[in-house]
Amino acid sequence: MTHCAVDMPSYTLAMKAQKILKARGYTCEVKRNQSNSNTGCGYYINFGGDCTKAKEILEKYSIPFEKLRKEDI
């Protein structure tokens, strides 16, 4: 299974993205970054599943994001 994290530019957009992804079957949560980041607001969305498809969903709904990270677990 692939684990994904998407850095968000604001908490509000993180919550909006979470709502959209959950409506499409993703189990996800908004989390606070542990370290200070030079990009984004310090929040990211953490979820499992198809990262590429999730990216397409966010782009389709014009939800901006900073960075998509994925790792296989």
Question: For 16-62, what is each residue's pLDDT tens digit?
Answer: 999 999 999 999 999 998 766 565 568 999 999 889 999 999 999 99
Say what the pLDDT of residue 35 is.
67
Say what the pLDDT of residue 40 is.
57
Say what the pLDDT of residue 67 is.
87
Residue 16 sits in a domain of what CATH number? 3.30.70.2190
pTM score, two decimals?
0.83
Instruction: Give the residues across from 22 on adjacent strands.
Output: none
Distances in Å between the alpha carbon of 49 and those of 27, 28, 31, 39? Answer: 8, 10, 17, 24
Count of structural domains, the chain = 1
Tell me the two tokens of residue 53.
């498809």
Domain that residue 28 falls in: 2-72
